[in-house]
Structure 1
């Protein structure tokens, strides 16, 4: 029996090579093919020649009435000319430098041509030719994102074949009540009109249905995960309140009101009998680490272990070093588990973790390896959580008996988008900086004034400050005319010698080399650290007060904000200098935004407006979906409505027993999610 889960190899003419080519577009099944939607459409509606204006782009449909005339002139230059009858008129059509079209020009054939109209000569200089056979009479032609392996025509033909062969087994997933309420198409019609619309109105209506369906199904999965977590017997962590209060009182600073609020939210979750699943957002330098430390301490007072997973060894090492100081003199025993341990060290550490001798385990993804067994894991924290895939986070969660989960991110996400995108999580926000922190002064400097930045840096160094200098590349690139870290290091070393030491840090260095450079920088042996974006996350030196970013327009706003956050971590005034000559309006807007505000949430909102959600929310593996149709920013209202509808549906008693909901029950089962939550 036919199924949308059939391989594309079931289609006529699709052999192993074509299967492999389609896989480069992430098309493996018939459903993948049918939901590989167009990025835009060409409008093939014919233009009325009586109203066509000179130099206007027009579309003509007619019958070929002359043999093609093909002539060459100059190097690789050629012209293809033929006549078509359009109504009562005969029009000359000319194509330049498209010799392969000659095969499609046959006497009496019906064609559609698009191009620029020459009213005086009554002829068209065309750039596109569509035969009626490939257009099938539709006036609105789909254009797909393709690559070197698959051509537009091939993809279009395969989608048509798949629709004709499988249209009768396309299930409508959305319940009738929702389709009626929002006047949406059934799924078969939606897929047909997405690929082969008769006009712009039908294409728009199909896209509206596809957007809602995509958001609704995504939210249904998130809400199902959320309800499963809430139903599961979590680890009830009955921490010792007096000990926790004593620990907080012993900190060398007062918590901000925002930190106190968030600590209360987390501690309340720890005591509940179901699994905590909370996202902790806080701007760079807002004090997320100390909030995490309090949650860890509370967990350990109740006799449980805590694990903290960081995306890089540098960040894991820094967390271990910082938390070892915070917990000095307490009953918290810290272990650092990374890939660079010797076999003996690794074995001894695993034994100590299994016995429970170490109750705070910090590491990279090494924490989720099969050989890591925890004695009594109660709390899991992932830092910079958007850098981990959903599967990695799930693996860590499964290491204990439903441990509580706290995910932290310093990538500010506008609250509405955070709540909607991380729909399966509760969201806490630290929206306040610690007292005494001075806002970082940011200045945009043009490339020709680079010496101004270096003079300023020399003045700051003379007062005992240290600085980061960031370059987008490690070594010289012929394709990009940008400063590179190696050259920059050599230039600055020569510029500042012998008074100040310059160091170099980049991603191709070994872990030991990076650690050595960072230690020298922290200890003050290096005054200027030239680096790539390795320093973007987590690197902490309170004495560093200057951040200079070369070719700053090459970075996104979120990344610039992260880099700026490496300074301003002490009591002294800090500065960020952006050296850039942006060529685009967006590049200029990014520089202006950085100068105008140090508020990460405002920066994130602007980033959303300029570049969409992808850069804010991380790459495809982040757990944030790569939506095929919907835009979480532009279609935010639809996304929020879909979230509400999905939550309401799952809240209905015995929702999965109704006939109308059976396609959704099957959909969730296919995604290995439970459907019965009563």
Structure 2
């Protein structure tokens, strides 16, 4: 099955150890890799009429060499080659810089096509390359990502050689019914037209087919991993439905339709014998914590323990306090374990946990450390899932016998990232806010208008409400003109003294110092809290109605949205004030988008479009794959179709054995063997 295509590039003529190493640096290890090393753009080599060319346009001119070439040398290793080209009845000067070897290729009276940049004022061409005018295949010149170690021309030559030698071995990977449905090119033609298109239309059709093939392969990997996870023996949690319904009735509010739907989805997973691996995403303030409480209670009624892991001690403590209140009228025993838990208390807690006396353990990554033994762990929940790596999630799962896993995030993941970064997880989405929540009014002011914003803050404080002020840095930085938290808090204390008290919270404070400040803010002993982004996730003070963010253009849209979500948690009207002097058009756009929508999913997609996927989550951190041809943002609809198709293929029993899927199954087996299995 495509045996020669899986051979190392080193087996090709002209590829020695040095060249093989240079190709490996570009991700080209096999002949198949070389054939799918696609151009990122094309030069239009079609011959143009001189009268139709714009100044500085890159064009191909075809004519006859009308004068002997003249080579002039100037400076060290610099030279210029001039000759005249006769086109129809006019003569044009052609100049090549630093390509003296072309002298040997030029003869008077010779027919020639030259690709270069046109100078309309001088009616001359600065040549880039000479093209064989008889070679119709070269209407478009493919341009590849190259490196210092290997030149563009070498890559082009090797791809041509590989296609001529191995092209016959290329077989279609996309199952025939799908290829027919979407009118995709046969794979051999697709790869040919990606590298050597005869026209713009040919390259567009090839790229369309290559994009779908690449996305389908990726989605097949995701779906295969998901299926493997499902076949892993999970645990069946036979929860007590009557108890669960009675518990939901005791809640002081009615669940939204979205919360009910999500609870049902998760409870179905708990009951199923397969292992649950689900992502719960919901916008800021959509009520994920209460959903988590309900499903944890379900697991506890079946005799299992549940654990909830949060990224920071502040958030873990807040969860512990909130959930202790939620479970106050039940017999659920809630405990908190963080790095700050004193040794004696920790020892007693671990003993009670191992004995099965604790039903629900909440904490930071301390939950997965050595020595933490659960009696019967059935459900693990990670909050703010994007802050934990795959390894931490895997360690958490190993604490029990394949406990069901639920990851939660309030960072709205746009559809693109949900499909790519979390493709192997089932996704539940809470897409409506609880009743009574008022939308937060967002305004953007420039820094010279900050004083008028502060007078508005004073009015809110006078009404008995509280305010957050966020700034990006803790200490002065000579390179960044950013308000630092310490100086800002001192200035604001002067501004609001003696009527209101200003507190300061930043990442370098000790945990107990942070706790003391947060407790004072919650108790309204501090009216205005200056903070770096340690308050970004999950902090809940219902009396805080204003969020003022300095240098807002230094934050991503998703982060600004998270910060904005710290207010508007009570019934009063709430406000977010962005103070920023954006340096470019993109910065201005981001500030405007923030004032136009409070929908986190819309913002996350916009953030992705403006900044690109790598910056939004950090490619390495998020595990976002890099694609050769497809763009998960621009080609989102193709990505979604490929996901649905992959899902349908994998749902068929013995899909690998079906003739239409054999090539796909084979290439998938090779790919999965190379990456290993994902958690």
Normalization by structure 1: what TM-score? Answer: 0.82
The CA deviation at 1:667 is 3.4
Distance 1:393 1:254 in 2: 32
Match of 1:122 in 2: 123
Distance 1:492 1:582 in 2: 23
> Is the 2:60–2:113 contact (alpha carbons within 8 Å) kept by the matching residues of 1?
no
For the structure 1 residues 244 and 446, does the alpha-carbon distance in structure 2 shift closer, same or farther, using more than 3 Å as the test? same
Following superposition of structure 1 onto structure 2, how do residues 602-621 of structure 1 map, counting pairs within 5 Å? 602-604=602-604, 606-607=606-607, 610=610, 619-621=619-621
Distance 1:458 1:3 in 2: 74
Match of 1:38 in 2: 39
For the structure 1 residues 159 and 255, does the alpha-carbon distance in structure 2 shift closer, same or farther, using more than 3 Å as the test? same
Distance 1:166 1:337 in 2: 60
Match of 1:428 in 2: 428
Match of 1:444 in 2: 444
Distance 1:458 1:533 in 2: 23
Match of 2:454 in 1: 454
SS of structure 1 residue aligned to 2:436: coil
Gaps of 5+ in 1: 674-678
Distance 1:508 1:27 in 2: 45
Following superposition of structure 1 onto structure 2, how do residues 102-121 of structure 1 map, counting pairs within 5 Å? 106-108=103-105, 112-118=114-120, 121=122
SS of structure 1 residue aligned to 2:245: helix
For the structure 1 residues 654 and 258, does the alpha-carbon distance in structure 2 shift closer, same or farther, using more than 3 Å as the test? closer
Distance 1:406 1:356 in 2: 21
What are the Cα deviations for residues 344-386 of structure 1, in whole angstroms up to 9, with x where unaligned?
8777655554443333233445545676543322112222234
For the structure 1 residues 519 and 150, does the alpha-carbon distance in structure 2 shift closer, same or farther, using more than 3 Å as the test? farther
Match of 1:550 in 2: 550
Match of 1:244 in 2: 244
Following superposition of structure 1 onto structure 2, how do residues 221-300 of structure 1 map, counting pairs within 5 Å? 221-300=221-300
Question: Which stretch shows the higher mean deviation, 144-153 or 650-659?
Answer: 144-153
Match of 1:676 in 2: none
Gaps of 5+ in 2: 107-111, 674-679
Distance 2:480 2:165 in 1: 48
Q: How many residues of Structure 1 are paired with residues of Structure 2 in the alignment?
A: 660
Match of 2:677 in 1: none
> Is the 1:333–1:358 contact (alpha carbons within 8 Å) kept by the matching residues of 2?
yes
Distance 1:298 1:262 in 2: 14
What are the Cα deviations for residues 589-634 of structure 1, in whole angstroms up to 9, with x where unaligned?
3333322332334434544565566667774543553333223343
Question: Which stretch shows the higher mean deviation, 50-59 or 463-472?
Answer: 50-59
Distance 2:21 2:343 in 1: 43
Following superposition of structure 1 onto structure 2, how do residues 216-615 of structure 1 map, counting pairs within 5 Å? 216-328=216-328, 330-338=330-338, 352-365=352-365, 367-368=367-368, 372-390=372-390, 392-413=392-413, 418=418, 422=422, 424-475=424-475, 481-485=481-485, 487-497=487-497, 499-507=499-507, 511=511, 514-604=514-604, 606-607=606-607, 610=610
What are the Cα deviations for residues 301-360 of structure 1, in whole angstroms up to 9, with x where unaligned?
211111223344443343334323433464433444556667887776555544433332
The CA deviation at 1:452 is 1.1
- 1:66 aligned to 2:75? no
The CA deviation at 1:547 is 0.9
> Is the 2:411–2:558 contact (alpha carbons within 8 Å) kept by the matching residues of 1?
yes
- 1:173 aligned to 2:170? no
> Is the 2:56–2:117 contact (alpha carbons within 8 Å) kept by the matching residues of 1?
no
SS of structure 2 residue aligned to 1:650: helix
For the structure 1 residues 597 and 13, does the alpha-carbon distance in structure 2 shift closer, same or farther, using more than 3 Å as the test? same
The CA deviation at 1:576 is 0.1
For the structure 1 residues 143 and 384, does the alpha-carbon distance in structure 2 shift closer, same or farther, using more than 3 Å as the test? farther
Distance 1:400 1:567 in 2: 38
The CA deviation at 1:71 is 5.1
Match of 2:85 in 1: 85
Question: Which stretch shows the higher mean deviation, 528-537 or 83-92?
Answer: 83-92
The CA deviation at 1:238 is 1.7
SS of structure 2 residue aligned to 1:400: coil
The CA deviation at 1:567 is 0.9
Distance 1:159 1:536 in 2: 50
Match of 2:665 in 1: 665
Distance 2:20 2:258 in 1: 56
Distance 2:150 2:578 in 1: 42
For the structure 1 residues 140 and 173, does the alpha-carbon distance in structure 2 shift closer, same or farther, using more than 3 Å as the test? same
> Is the 2:280–2:429 contact (alpha carbons within 8 Å) kept by the matching residues of 1?
yes
> Is the 1:387–1:622 contact (alpha carbons within 8 Å) kept by the matching residues of 2?
no
> Is the 2:501–2:527 contact (alpha carbons within 8 Å) kept by the matching residues of 1?
yes
Distance 1:30 1:340 in 2: 55
The CA deviation at 1:195 is 3.6
Distance 1:158 1:212 in 2: 25
Distance 1:85 1:572 in 2: 78
The CA deviation at 1:421 is 7.3
- 1:210 aligned to 2:210? yes
The CA deviation at 1:484 is 4.6
What are the Cα deviations for residues 34-70 of structure 1, in whole angstroms up to 9, with x where unaligned?
5443333232333322443556553446769523435
The CA deviation at 1:493 is 4.4
Normalization by structure 2: what TM-score? Answer: 0.82
The CA deviation at 1:466 is 2.6
Distance 2:311 2:9 in 1: 37
The CA deviation at 1:566 is 1.1
> Is the 1:386–1:618 contact (alpha carbons within 8 Å) kept by the matching residues of 2?
no
The CA deviation at 1:665 is 2.3
Distance 1:477 1:35 in 2: 46
For the structure 1 residues 118 and 668, does the alpha-carbon distance in structure 2 shift closer, same or farther, using more than 3 Å as the test? closer
SS of structure 1 residue aligned to 2:236: coil
Question: Which stretch shows the higher mean deviation, 401-410 or 11-20?
Answer: 11-20
Distance 1:248 1:587 in 2: 45
Distance 1:32 1:490 in 2: 59
